[in-house]
A and B are shown apart, each in its own frame.
Chain A
Amino acid sequence: MAVPILKQGPVLIASVQSALTDTDVLRLQDDVVEQVGRFRSRGLIVDVTALDVMDSFVSRSLRAIAHMTRLRGAETVIVGIQPEVAFAMVQLGLSLEDVHTALDLEEGLAFLRGQLEGPENGGG
């Protein structure tokens, strides 16, 4: 099932609705990298609140998404990792260490707003 991607100003929001197959994850990867260019987006939020499993493939793919979109000029924030999912990821040895994360969509948007209005972007 494809992940819907919403455009909200300079930010794209990819909202995962249900369990993802590997094919879904790879499609999400292609879609966001393409849409960051098409909409000239400066930020991307991937909301994984609905995911009950984040295994090594999903984690690796989310890191790839964050790296690729950064190369395209947009910052990625992963939001909504559930507590038991976080526990499983740590046990498994997965860290997303160089990827921004936030508790939920609200926090993720606030983080990106801060990034986009930062001094290096000419202030507000």
Chain B
Amino acid sequence: MADEVRVAIESDADVVVARQRARELAAGLGLSGTDLTLLATAISEIARNITTYAERGEVAVSVVATGRRRGVRVVASDEGPGIANLELALRDGYTSGVGLGMGLPGTRRLVDEFDIVSAPGEGTTVTFVKWGPELG
């Protein structure tokens, strides 16, 4: 099994491919069905931001490990317009539509670690990790 998959994101079909490939990679690490669904949903949200705002980019999914557990790290990057106000984009309005409507606060709740780097004109890179169970 490969430890990394990279999917170029240029169309809505690529969004589906990215989440399916990530699910396959993560399934081998012992993540529960619920965690696999949370991971796939998070990728769907973030990859759609690429097609919506940046037109094209990439989703890279890789296996990460600490001493006691393995997990999946997702890096979604683009060279699009970037986000001027990250604080606003990350503000949690839950269902009320507060924020920039990019689904970032909701996506952050689906994963274990979440980081975003972005600036106007310099693209956006979202990195998140979903951990599997601790190894006995």
Shortest beta-carbon distance, A8 to chain B, in Å? 29
When the two chains form the complex, which single residue of A20, A21, A92 contacts B110, counting CB atoms closer than 8 Å? Answer: A92
Q: How large is the interface on A (under 10, 10 to 19, 20 to 34, 35 or more residues)?
A: 20 to 34
Does A52 sit within 8 A of B, measured CB to CB? Answer: yes
B37 touches A92 (CB 8 A): no
Closest chain A residue, CB of each to CB of B19: A53
**Which residue in A23, A83, A92, A95 is a CB contact (below 8 Å) of B45?**
A92
Q: Which of B13, B34, B95 contacts A21 (CB 8 A)?
A: B13
Query: Which residue of the partner chain B has the closest CB to A57?
Result: B48
Q: Mask for A15-45, Cβ within 8 A of B = 1, else 0?
A: 0000111110000000000000000000000
Cβ–Cβ contact B12 & A84, under 8 A: no
With CB as the reference atom, state the residue of chain B lying closest to A58: B44
Instruction: State how many angstroms separate the Cβ of A48 from the closest Cβ of chain B.
Output: 13
Are B44 and A53 interface neighbours, CB within 8 A?
A: yes
**CB of A110 to closest CB in B, whole Å:** 28
Stretch at the interface among B59-67, B74-82, B101-109, B121-129: B101-109
- Max chain A Cβ within 10 angstroms of own Cβ: one of B33, B41, B44: B41
Interface residues of B (CB under 8 A from A): 11-13, 15-16, 19-20, 23, 33-34, 36-38, 40-41, 44-45, 48, 94-95, 103, 105-107, 109-110
**5 A-B residue pairings within 8 Å (CB atoms):** A23-B13, A53-B41, A55-B41, A56-B106, A95-B95
List the interface of chain A (C-beta within 8 A of B).
19-23, 52-57, 82-85, 87-88, 91-95, 97
